[in-house]
Amino acid sequence: MRLCESCSARLGLESEASEGSGCEACMGLSDKFSSYLDMAVKAVSEYEFSTFWLGAFIRKKVIDADARLSENKQGIKKALEIYVGEGLEKRTGKTATPVDPDIIATVDTINERIELRVSSAFFSGRYVKKSRAMPQSKWLCRKCSGRGCKECGFTGRMYPSSVEERIAAPLIRMCEGAGSKLHALGREDIDVRMLGTGRPFAIEILSPKRRTVDLAEASKEIASSGDVEALGLAASGRQEALRVDTSKAMKRYEAVVSSEAQVEREKLEAISGLAPIELEQRTPNRVAHRRSDIVRVRAVDNIEFTNISDEGFRMSLLAEHGTYIKEFVSGDDGRTKPSLSQLLGIQCRVAELDVTDVEFV
């Protein structure tokens, strides 16, 4: 049996001296372990990271040849992973762990390269949106789907910017990332401002080369636009993004409501006394093209009215997550029951709407 010195020791088998591809177990792969370690060290040197994990991809014929000899002993794939993994720990001072590592490095012995999968960097906080003409995320042109046409002025988009882009821009640059993904606790309509304490969010920066950045400077740059702020911006993790994505919260709103006729103060006070008000809301007409047509049961826990005039009034309310406030006011052609218009007997609509608080702990 011809085995290289490394495989002879690994398998505990006597053999004739053999070098390189003459080894019947590894077919010369063991001789390349050191060069793979050098390649791995060079590949990760461009990245800031604390933890990593190491894997390997080896030709099937090498795996099969080695398996015939290794039986319950250490296989060639495991041997390569241990050698390069332990060497990477020593030479970089970083920690190897299979649990949510910053980088997963794979030794591709077929193509003679190191493949890296870099985990995202996460930052969280609360955002304030002062604009009534900005979506939460990038909105491609409906007509051309981002390719550019006369309809969108050849920009490929419906709106020039978004909350996500405002927050992500400095972080992508500072992290040298490849892109971003916004995770937020709900969303407001484009024409609705998010004021007060802001909306909880986590921004995911894809494939970052840097993870430690000047968050005070990033917050300052975000706020310089004048329409978006990121309050309490801090480094976080994937679990925070998941928490933001899946949590539910009560939300406070302020609205300017217009009415087709003068509303009596007594009627408004009577409606305030009905709270909490349970609503049945069928998917609104304005979003029916992109959401399932179902009936949602939601609640308005508290509602108050001020600044009552001939043209309308101001409304403050606390409502359950997912409540369509505009439709609660208008009735949406009977798709929301009861509605403020129905209770008053006068058609009303929201002229301006702001979210002032998202109660999230």
CATH number for position 292: 3.30.70.3190
Strands 312-319 and 250-259: antiparallel
Residues 177 and 260 in one domain: no
Q: Which domain holds residue 13?
A: 2-118
| Phi–psi pair at 73, nearest 5 degrees | -90, 175
Residues 257 and 330 in one domain: yes
Burial class (CB in 10 A: 0-12, 13-18, 19+), 110: exposed
Separation CA 95–CA 112 (nearest Å) = 24
Residues 135 and 213 in one domain: yes
Domain boundary among 61, 95, 118: 118
Q: Which residues of the chain have pLDDT under 50?
A: none
Burial class (CB in 10 A: 0-12, 13-18, 19+), 281: buried
- Buried b / exposed e over 34-55, threshold 16 CB at 10 Å, is eebbebbbebbeebbbebbbbb
Residues 75 and 129 in one domain: no
Residues 296 and 354 in one domain: yes
Catalytic residues: 189
CATH number at residue 178: 3.30.70.2510
Residue for token pair 């309509």: 189
pLDDT at res. 158: 87
CA 267, 270, 274: angle at the middle one, nearest 5? 135
Residues 286 and 350 in one domain: yes
pLDDT at res. 18: 56
Residues 209 and 260 in one domain: no
pLDDT at res. 345: 96
Residues 63 and 165 in one domain: no
Number of domains in the chain: 3
What single-letter amino acid sits at 72? N
CATH number at residue 58: 3.30.2300.10
Rounded to an integer, what is the distance from CA 330 to the centroid of its chain?
Answer: 33
How far is residue 269 from each of residues 89, 173, 263, 266, 326, measured CA to CA in Å? Answer: 69, 52, 11, 5, 20
Domain boundary among 246, 272, 302: 246
pLDDT in tens, 324-342: 999 999 999 999 999 999 9
Residues 108 and 128 in one domain: no
